[in-house]
Amino acid sequence: KPKQDSTILVQKIEKQQKKAEELIPVILYFHNDEPNPRTYDTTTTYSYSELYEKYIKMREEYIKYYSEKLKNEEKNNAEASIDAFFTDEVEKNYVKLLNFLQLLKQMLLDGQEIAITIKGYASPLNNHAYNLNLSKRRVQSLVNMLNSFEDGFFKPYIDGSSSNGGKLIILREAFGENMVSQGVSDDLRDQRNSVYSPAAAKERKIAVIAIKFPK
């Protein structure tokens, strides 16, 4: 019987790990210069969930500024592209994140050791040093969300004090705008393209790019 139980547990763990790997990458988006605008700080007290709630409320503002100088079909297309970005990228990935966190929770309750890698990016506005620090703040906002999730569920797994030996290791990669796609505007005077366009908005992100199981 114990052998049968351990086989069932191994199968359960393998299934969970495969499911978690299939959710990668989890991509999370930010408004321009958020969190903590106009600063060189490398850390923030904001949680990604707070920034997300604020960001999705800006959908109408994005639609307005991205489409206001256009007419007819061009205007309709611009509005639709912003709408699609918020629905298919911002909101869908947030739901994916919540599913991912629930899965992490289950795996940690089973005493697993998990390493996740979070990578930061920024759109090309501002200089490299500024953007590097901004991407670090964005990564920190997800770490803050992990620390506050369900009354601090992840904390003992992050700081190594869990009673069941489960561990959550967080690896950080901050890349600034080194990775930005070609053709994204870096002109602050042209905010329609450098701030409100889907192309620029897609660069302002962090991503959980890897999950590994060291044991």
Residue ranges making up the domain that contains 33: 2-212
pLDDT score of 177 more than 60: no
Question: Which candidate, 211, 117, 125, 210, places its Cα nearest to that of 176?
Answer: 125
Condensed to tens digits (0 to 9), the pLDDT of residues 10-67 reads: 898 999 999 999 999 999 999 999 999 999 999 999 999 999 999 999 999 999 999 9
Number of structural domains found in the chain: 1
Condensed to tens digits (0 to 9), the pLDDT of residues 63-108 reads: 999 998 899 999 999 999 999 999 999 999 999 999 999 999 999 9
**pTM: predicted TM-score of the whole model, two decimal places:** 0.90
CATH number for the domain that contains residue 81: 3.30.1330.60
